[in-house]
């Protein structure tokens, strides 16, 4: 359904999909893609474990962030405060694209429904003609 550029292929000619993304939009897409990946989760868990191990190890020598890891809490809070709005920007843009896709899908479904109704009417007309011809023969 999607190509490498992140845009749906079925309605790529709509102006919103041809619009150039700003640097901030491209950055929010990259951050969202990475921030929502297993790679990020794995790296972040390893970072947290390493932080805690280093602090427990250095705790005997007055660790740089002793338990309860106040500096780590600050880092996590800052990460969440920055990452959340960036992810929301990417989601809002994707939601706009999804609304356009839904409109197109609805229009296509309505057209298909009308065509099916026309075909059914044509079949009824053909059946009536066949009955009429059979009666003459």
Average pLDDT of 52-76? Answer: 77
What pTM does this model have? 0.53
Please give the backbone phi and psi of residue 2, each rounded to the nearest 5 degrees, phi first.
-115, 150
Q: Are 16 and 97 in contact (CB under 8 A)?
A: yes
Question: pLDDT value at position 125?
Answer: 95
Distance of CA 44 to the CA centre of its chain: 22
Tens of pLDDT, residues 69-97: 788 888 889 988 988 888 888 888 888 88
**How crowded is residue 104: how many other Cβ atoms within 10 Å of its Cβ?**
14
Is 29 in a helix, a strand, or coil?
A: helix
Residues for the chain: how many in total?
137
Q: What pLDDT does 2 receive?
A: 46
């Amino acid at each position: 359904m999607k190509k490498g550029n992140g845009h749906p292929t079925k309605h790529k000619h709509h102006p919103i999909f041809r619009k150039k993304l700003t640097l901030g939009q491209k950055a929010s897409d990259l951050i969202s893609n990475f921030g929502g990946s297993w790679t990020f989760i794995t790296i972040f868990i390893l970072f947290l474990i390493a932080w805690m191990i280093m602090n427990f190890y250095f705790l005997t020598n007055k660790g740089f962030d002793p338990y309860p890891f106040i500096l780590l809490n600050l880092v996590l809070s800052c990460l969440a405060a920055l990452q959340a709005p960036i992810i929301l920007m990417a989601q809002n843009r994707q939601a706009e694209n999804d609304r356009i896709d839904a409109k197109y899908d609805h229009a296509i479904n309505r057209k298909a429904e009308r065509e099916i109704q026309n075909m059914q009417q044509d079949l009824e007309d053909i059946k009536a003609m066949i009955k009429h011809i059979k009666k003459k023969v």
